[in-house]
Every structure is written in structure tokens, then in C-alpha cells.
Structure 1
Amino acid sequence: MAEEATREAILGAAMAHVPFDGWSEMTLKAAAADSGQPLALARALFPRGGLDLALTYHRAGDRAMIRALADQDLGALRFRERVALAVRLRLEAADSEAVRRGSALFALPQNSAAGAKAIWGTADAIWTALGDTSDDINWYSKRATLSAVYGATVLFWLGDESSDHHATWDFLDRRIEGVMQFEKAKAAFAKNPLGKALLNGPLKVLERIHAPKIADDLPGRCQD
């Protein structure tokens, strides 16, 4: 069994144990046994135990969202509606108890950085799937803003008992509307005399900020 298939098999087996034991070493041991994989191999694939299991589950959700978004007809939607749809698809593909357990895990001080990175990865996946081509500071600001929106929406979603999560989608729309108002304010600032003076003066250093680049010649990367 290939490494990725083995990882997926262990993760799949873990899902039955997460509601009871959380994303934990106990869950990893049970998942290894249920999937017929040696515990040593499971620990090699998930060296940080439950934390790596949770992160693998999170990344799988991002990939599912990207696939679901690719099947949507986005042409008739405004951009804010596309962002809202992406977030909604991401949550609809998730298991609420698995996410609840993951949120508790990532809330621990030693795991907070990994949790923040996972949310940033989701925001990046959404912007990339929607065709974002920004290469300057906007690359960072878009992902930071969407990370905040997504994180807040997840917490609301976990406590939402409304029919078909209507309250969550309304909450999401309000958060995105707030972001749009902020973007409008930024554009207006850049056009007024004071904004122009600052952007051409003290804030001109921001022009040196660019999106991160991944070298194509790193070991393990495919060459075209």
C-alpha cells in the first residue's frame, strides 16, 4: 500500500474514534489496529500523533472544498458570493464533532501555531481556487482577513442549532460584508491626497513585500 493510501486508511479508521477519544495517541493506536497497519508505521506517518492526524484531516477538507468549488458555476456570482460559497462548501464537507475536537486541540498553547497555520492554509486554498493573482502585500492581507472570517465562522457553526445552519450562513455574509467595507475604505484611502502622500512616502516600503515563492528546483518537486 502506497504511503498516501496508508495515511488515508489510517485517517479513515480514526474517524470512528475521534468523537470518543479526540485527536489523540489513543485514537492513533486504535486507527492503526482497525486499518491493519503496524503501529510503528502509523507513528512514522503521524509523528506528532493526534496533532498530525487532525492536521491531515484539515488538509483533506481543504482538498475536498477545492474539488467541490471546481464543480460550481461561479460566473453569475459576485466575488463576495464566491468567497462565501467556498467557505460554506468547506464547512459542509466537514464533520462537526471532528472539527470540535480539533478546535479544542488547537486551542492548547503548544498547538496554537499549528492551528493558525492550518486556518491560513484554508484561506490560501480558497483565494488560490478563486484565481487570486496578487503578488504584493495584498496577498498577505487577503489571507489574514479571510483567516479571521473563517475562524470566527467555524466557531459560530459549531454552536449553531438553526435549520440547515441558516444562522451560520447569515453570520458569514455579515463578516464578508464587513471585509468588503474595509477593502472599500482601503481603496478610498489610496486615492485621497493624504493616502497618496503616505503610500509614496513612509509606506512606500510596503512595495517591497511580495508573496512567497517556492523554488522549482527543490528536491522532490516535479520538473515540467
Structure 2
Amino acid sequence: MSGRTRSLDRGGMDAGAQAITGQLGRTIQRLRKAYNLSLSELSEQSGVAKSIISQIERNETNPTLATVWRLSQALDVSIDRFMAATDDEPFVEHLTRGDTPILVSEDGKCRLTITGWIKTVEWLQWFDFVAEPGGELVSDGHQRGSVECLSVLSGELQVECGDIIETARAGETLRYRCDRRHIIRNLGSEHAHATMVCLLKAAVLD
């Protein structure tokens, strides 16, 4: 989310890419075993070093496109089908508390935990939002046409967007244009908790 925030922890931002690399590694290993090939044999047939293949299968490196092409040729599968196979593989990504980036408002009273996936960051972002009493998050505008949705889980939050000010309580959602300066405030006496989803470059605004 753009705006006046500072980052506490930017670790884990490449987790989505790592997950995809892991899928690729599992696909290579599955195909290699299906052809009953050892690491040495696949290395000989593909021209890719045995150590590199081993690292790819263990999700310890991010291979170049040239490397993926050589492996796909050795395993007798097109690169398109190769990459499609990695997308079809099921996966479960587990981010620990330390791996999850957190942004803090200028006043130190609002915390945005980035729970969204790095692969969607250019068009879809979502956050876990917590605001202490009196907390205020001031954000600059996103791309024109962007929309933000704030679903309050507990407490009460106020949103100011242009000349419009609205308040939502637990169980309610505020949806507003975020392509201009907008402010979220907790004017209550208790902590407020919400889920925030930002749809960037929205095509239609009713």
C-alpha cells in the first residue's frame, strides 16, 4: 500500500517466487524419476551440471530460462508444457511471523501486515490492519481507478476520502476510491481490527 508508512520487515517478499521455483523443482524430479534417470544421467543428457539440477530439485536456486530449456529438452517435454506443469502442481506456502512484512503508520499507532501474495502485488494487495485508539493512517493515491475495501472485524474505523467521511463497525465494510489521498482513523477507545484489500487499476467504477 502506498502512503506514509515505514517498513519494519521486508523479509518474505520473494516467497511467491520461491514457491513457484519449488514447484518447478518437484516437476523436474518427478519427470527424472519417471524416466528412471539418475542426476548424473540427466546432467549428461542436458548439459546442466549435476550440482545445479540437485539444487533446483531441492528449491535452493532459481534457474535461468536457458537451464529450464535444456532440462525440458532432455526430459522430452516442451518448455510450455514444462512450465504449465509447475503451475498445476498443488502447493502450500507457510509464512512465519518473522517472514511476514509489517508496515507502520507515521504516528506508530497503525500496523499493516502484508498478507497478500507477491505475484498479485501489481493489481491486488491485501493486508491485516490494526489501529490503536487515536491511530491514523494517511495514504497517497494509487493508480487512477483503484478501489480499496476495508472490512472491520472489531472496533470502529472512519475513512476520509476527498470530502466524504464514513464510519464502519464490526461486520461492516467500506469501499472507496483510493486513487486520491485517503485517511483511515480509529476514533474509538478500543483497538480496531480490519481486513484491507486494494484493487489496483480497477476497470469499472459504478
Q: How high is the TM-score relative to the length of structure 1? A: 0.26
Which of these two proteins has the greater Rg computed from alpha carbons? 2
Q: Flag the structure with more relative contact order, 1 or 2, with Cα contacts below 8 A and sequence separation at least 6.
A: 2
Structure with a larger share of its residues in strand? 2
